[in-house]
Amino acid sequence: MSHVQSRNSESSSEMTSRLLPLLFTPQLGLAEIELTTACPCRCITCGTNCGRAEVDELTAEELMKVLSDLSDLGCQRVSLLGGDPLCRPELTTLIRHARTHRLLVEIITSGMGLDATVAQELKSAGLNSATVSVDGLEASHDAQRGVRGLYGRAITAIRALRAARVAVGVNTQVNRVSLPDLEALGDQLLEAGVMGWQLQATLPMGRAGQSSLILQPADMPELLSVVRRLSRRRRLAPQLTDAIGWWTSDDTRLRSVPGAQARCWLGCMAGLQHMGITSQGNVKGCLALPDEFTEGNVRNETLREIWSDTKRFAYNRAYRPESLSGACATCAQSTLCRGGCAASAVSFHGRSGRNDNCLLLVERNQNKL
């Protein structure tokens, strides 16, 4: 039997067994770097508690060393965020340094202060793309962000970036305030020139820890209905990100960018393909994970020492099926899903391996009716 014929005759379980070791082998692709906790906004949905800069944030020289080390580790892409990365005066210097080390660079920003001049400076520095946070229509967005008029400034930033020929997308936090806005918001973002749109659930952490805005299991049927309607948009259909999902029958369509390579949820990649570095140099698998998931600090060890230590990032690198609980423990998709987004699970339940805000549970319940 030929090699091709052998592969085609594989059962799904055999294929899964063959691909799992490759899928969950550490290979760094994306690093998120929190340049500062300084931020002009006071968002009630903030996953940390940003506002003022920490007193001992990494210096520009330390950040350039981090970028160089990430390149040496084979990292392909860095996302510079905060707080708001525009609050770091060395931002363009850091972008240039990253680009000289063959890293693709994205920033995530509120858009406040990002006018035509700033957009052109970012483009000249080599910025590849920018994501502007827009969390609903004008009234909802400004109320959540704590800055009157911020929605208009975000739209201005989007247009300035497009005029400077920077690829620009939008990330929208989905919660009880923004969910009713999503369908109308899509048209406004399209008109502003947005090229891509991602949806991310607001999680109960940081300033949002006890927020009544957080979606609960009872809100999931409405969320599933909305995202399915949005997925049928001919232009600017949004994509689900890690904290929303997982494994519905149309997960690939809900999570893929039209015209790009199809993708579906294949488990949390924190500590496997992703790394997060805080403004004080703490290293985590994902910046959305709390401080108890810190694996080291770049001031005490090199990034290579931290990343290459096989005993770290154990929640994913040494994953055990027994760690699953709730409905995840008996789910047929658990081999690949692994209980959904780890940060979501930890924020709701204190540990990974259980996500009750699961759209697959909604789909199964609806199919029983």
List all residues 6 or more positions away from 61 whose beta carbon is below 8 Å from its beta carbon.
Answer: none
Q: CA-to-CA distance for 124 and 151, rounded, in angstroms?
A: 26
Q: Find residue 155's DSSP bridge partners.
A: none
Tokens at 97, concatenated: 């340094």
pLDDT of residue 102: 97
Q: CA-to-CA distance for 225 and 220, rounded, in angstroms?
A: 9
pTM reported for the whole predicted model = 0.92
Q: CA-to-CA distance for 291 and 311, rounded, in angstroms?
A: 18
In this prediction, the residues of the chain whose per-residue pLDDT falls under 50 are: 1-9, 12
Tokens at 227, concatenated: 């995202």
**CA dihedral sign of residues 215, 190, 228, 261:** negative
The CA R_g of the chain, rounded to the nearest whole Å, is 20
Tokens at 132, concatenated: 């502007």
List all residues 6 or more positions away from 11 whose beta carbon is below 8 Å from its beta carbon.
Answer: none
Instruction: Please count the other Cβ atoms lying within 10 Å of the Cβ belonging to residue 314.
Output: 14
Provide the 3-class DSSP secondary structure of residue 158.
Answer: helix
Q: What is the pLDDT of residues 43-53, one digit of tens each?
A: 999 888 888 99
pLDDT of residue 14: 59
List all residues 6 or more positions away from 236 whose beta carbon is below 8 Å from its beta carbon.
Answer: 186, 189, 190, 194, 196, 197
CB 114 within 8 A of CB 86: yes
pLDDT of residue 361: 96
